[in-house]
Structure 1
Amino acid sequence: MAQASIVQKQAKLKQPESLRRQLLRKHVWFYVLAAPGLLYFLLFHYVPMWGVLLAFQEYSPYKGLWKSDWVGFDHFQRFFSEPVFLQLLKNTLLLSFYNLFFFFPFTIILALLLNEVRSALFKRFVQTVVYLPHFVSWVIIVGITFIFFGPSGVLNHYTDQWFETNIPFLMSNDWFRPLIVLQQIWKDAGWGTIIFLAALAGINPEQYEAATVDGANRWHRTWHITLPGIRSTIVILLILRLGSVMDSNFQQVFLMWNNFNETAASVFDLYVYKVGLQRFEYSYSIAIGLFNSVVGLILMLGANFAARLFQEDGIF
């Protein structure tokens, strides 16, 4: 009896291992398919994380990583005491707030409008039109902006002809943020509707039929069925967007930045470029980037905690 119980225990211990092997053999091609993506994140997102050590050093390319002098939190103290810190923080948060306040709701509204289109052919045509700008580079987007809003652009041609005035769209601090948001909406709003359209497709159509029978109009169906049906998707995407609130799309800002709008264009990402690649202060620039990442992580965790507090689905 004792030997039989021991054999049974050993068999139970072997079951999970054999089950794992069976699952591995069964889904081996799925792992092969996922391998390039996993390798990409491993090589370009996890392996470079050792570089955060440079934020606590006075890095010198001649001395290398391990022989450079350790300075602790000196770079962070210097950054927080810089006169430009408050301006960078203000510009970065304002730009992120503008994108969050205008771009994020616009994608939801656009997805709702596309969802209401009944002609499949016309819907596919509109989707193709609004998706295309996503595949256009920021260089071309900014070039088109110069054509329309430049000193000798289309709009200034008509304002000069009709009102005898020239509006400095691209050389004004007041116009910098609105142009950035308009570019963002035009380029990525259509692409951002994909997830919302997928969530809308998961709503049971019988709910709309029952609401129509009860006399609900299109606005009532949207407010009481459609929006609650995609609420969890909205919350998750909002949390993810809050995690990147300190990122300002460096390529876009860099292409739009000039000496005339520098007061509004000075954000953390642009400052890191100037410090790291123009002044060659590598450790100082990495410290600023690490600060941005930590703040973004805290905001994302806080938003996720708030979502859980209100009994909404978070990202984890």
Structure 2
Amino acid sequence: MSTVRETILTPPSKMKSQLWRSKIWHALRRDKYLYLLGLPGLLCLILFKYFPMWGVLIAFQNYSPFLGFWKSEWVGFEHFQFFFSNPDFFTLLRNTIAINLLSLVFFFPAPIILSLMLNEVRNERFKRTIQSIVYLPHFLSWVIIAGLTFTLFATGEGLVNKLLIGMGFERVEWLTTPEYFWGFLTGQSIWKEAGWGTVIFLAAMANVDPQLYEAARMDGANRLQQMRAITIPAIQNVIVILLILKLGHIMDVGFEQVFLLQNSVVSDVADVFDTYIYRVGVNQSQFSYTTAVGLFKAAVGLLLVVISNKLVKKAGGEGFY
């Protein structure tokens, strides 16, 4: 009787809270081994991703390693004001945005196109062989890729220039011409990561019901029509989610890739936020200032993810969250 009375007198909000906690504990007990399996990854995420976020405090300080986080002088938004008024800001912004826009236009579709082509291969042995070949560059470090680039495109001893001279053409200053730098970065990214990017899309294509293709063939659809009507819509949500994540990294350019390829001749088009943070923050020990630059990058990425996700949902898509 008392239990019934307590249930009647319990506020609805408290009942919802109790029901929610009960469902969580039930799920934890039911799937305890799965949660234990994921616990190491969760601890690594907290330890190496969330715990270091305390470090963003120094963006609002004149940080001194001898005084620590709490005793360093607080300066508010002084570092942000200095950064936005710095003449280098617009150069860094231009280079970073331009490189990422080229990546969106040329690199982002490359794994999709390659996945569609591989999906049309019916010989499984040949298909697996091609997949293995296009996966391999992903496992090479940027140091090796930079070395291959210099070997192929160096002005004096580069293989490409030797071939051009042998065919009667003049040598080309591939690596010291600013107009070619962004193209080289995009080409390197496509060669290195396009094959590895097909993993997600091929997995999504593998979940397509084969009966859909059979019905399309019975209706007289050719391979191209089947791709357009069945395969592409099947991976559409995956493409949208990856595009949203890509927009979240619009202010990021691979540091190793740019740092290894840049030189004094192309510095005007090669200097991006990542190399600037390294040059000023590490080499000149301006930790607070470069932390402010990094925080600006993260804020822009977060804003773009939120906006693009809302636009996708308004357009009728599932979105990222």
TM bucket (normalised to shorter chain) is over 0.9
Q: CA deviation at 1:294?
A: 0.3
* Matched residues, number: 314
Q: Equivalent residue for 2:252? A: 247
Distance between the aligned counterparts of 2:74 and 2:3, measured in 1? Answer: 62
The whole-number CA distance in structure 1 between the counterparts of 2:247 and 2:141 is 24
Tell me: CA distance 1:30–1:212, structure 2 relative to 1, closer, same or farther (3 Å): same
Q: Mind listing any 5+ residue stretches in structure 1 that lack a counterpart?
A: none
Partner of residue 4, structure 2? 5
| Of 39-48 and 202-211, the range deviating more from structure 2 | 202-211
Q: State the match for 1:220 in structure 2.
A: 225
Mapping of residues 1-316 of structure 1, within 5 Å: 2-3=1-2, 5-6=4-5, 21=25, 23-151=27-155, 152-316=157-321
Inter-CA distance 120–55: structure 2 relative to 1 (3 Å threshold): same
CA-atom RMSD in angstroms: 2.0
Gap change, CA 1:54 and 1:210, over 3 Å in 2 = same
Q: In the TM superposition, what is the alpha-carbon distance from 1:28 to its structure 2 partner?
A: 2.3
Identical counterparts, % of pairs: 47
AA aligned opposite 1:141: I
3-state SS in 2 of match to 1:260: helix
Letter in 1 for 2:180: W
The change in CA–CA distance for 1:295 and 1:19 in structure 2 (over 3 A counts) is closer
The amino acid of 2:311's aligned partner reads: A
The one-letter code of the counterpart of 2:214 is E
Give the deviation of 1:198 after TM superposition. Answer: 1.1
**Structure 1 residue 160 displacement after superposition:** 2.6
CA 70–14 in structure 1, closer or farther in 2 if over 3 Å, else same: closer
- SS of corresponding position for 2:71: coil
More deviation, 238-247/213-222: 213-222
Give deviations 1:159-181, integer Å, cap 9, x for gaps.
Answer: 23333522111112111111111
- In structure 1, give the amino acid aligned to 2:81: Q
* 1:50-104 per-position Cα deviation (integer Å, ceiling 9, x unaligned): 1111001111122221111111111111111111111110100000011111011
Deviates more, 1:22-31 or 1:240-249: 22-31
SS at 2:162 equivalent: helix
* Shift of residue 26, structure 1, vs aligned partner: 3.6
Alignment CA distance shift 1:219-1:53 (3 Å): same
Q: Distance in 1 between matches of 2:76 and 2:56?
A: 12
Q: Which amino acid aligns with 1:70?
A: W
> 1:14 and 1:304 mapped to 2: Cα distance?
32
Opposite residue 115 of structure 2, the aligned amino acid is: A
**Could you state the TM-score of these two structures normalised by the residue count of structure 2?**
0.92
Give the whole-Å Cα distance in 2 for the aligned partners of 1:65 and 1:225: 56
Deviations 1:229-276 (A, max 9, x none): 111111111000000010001111111111111111111111111110
**Aligned equivalents of 2:201 and 2:19: distance in 1?**
42
- Select between 212-221 and 121-130 the one with higher mean Cα deviation: 212-221
Cα drift, residue 182 of structure 1: 1.1
Task: Give the secondary-structure state (helix, strand or coil) at the position aligned to 1:171.
Answer: coil
Contiguous gaps of at least 5 residues in structure 2: none
